[in-house]
């Protein structure tokens, strides 16, 4: 079987781009940018995140800022 799509490689590229963005603009600004995108986008991932944000006692925004994690 000849694979044409490597999801692990894609994940690694995305995470590398996110790390580079954090280094360039700072973790807090990058998290705020992602938070705005998640709140405003019609992307399936954003829709899922929005449904989590609507749950009682949910605080998914807190997960967006790495400095606040234990």
What pLDDT was estimated at residue 49? 86
Dihedral sign, CA of 45, 30, 13, 58? negative
Query: What pLDDT does residue 57 have?
Result: 77
pLDDT tens digits, one per residue of 31-57: 899 989 998 999 999 999 888 878 877
CA–CA separation, 51 and 46 (whole Å): 9
pLDDT of 8: 94
Spacing of C-alpha 12 from chain mean position: 13
Per-domain residue ranges for the chain? Answer: 27-70
Tokens standing for residue 19: 């790390």
Q: Residue 25 is encoded by which pair of tokens?
A: 């603009």
The predicted structure's pLDDT at residue 59: 67
Between CA 39 and CA 6, with CA 18 as vertex, the angle to 5 degrees is: 100
């Amino acid at each position: 079987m000849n694979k044409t799509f490597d999801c692990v490689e894609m994940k690694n590229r995305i995470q590398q781009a996110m790390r580079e963005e954090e280094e360039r603009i700072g973790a807090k600004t990058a998290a705020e940018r992602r938070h705005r995108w998640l709140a405003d986008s019609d992307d399936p991932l954003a829709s899922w995140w929005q449904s989590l944000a609507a749950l009682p006692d949910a605080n998914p925004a807190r997960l967006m800022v790495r400095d606040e994690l234990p």
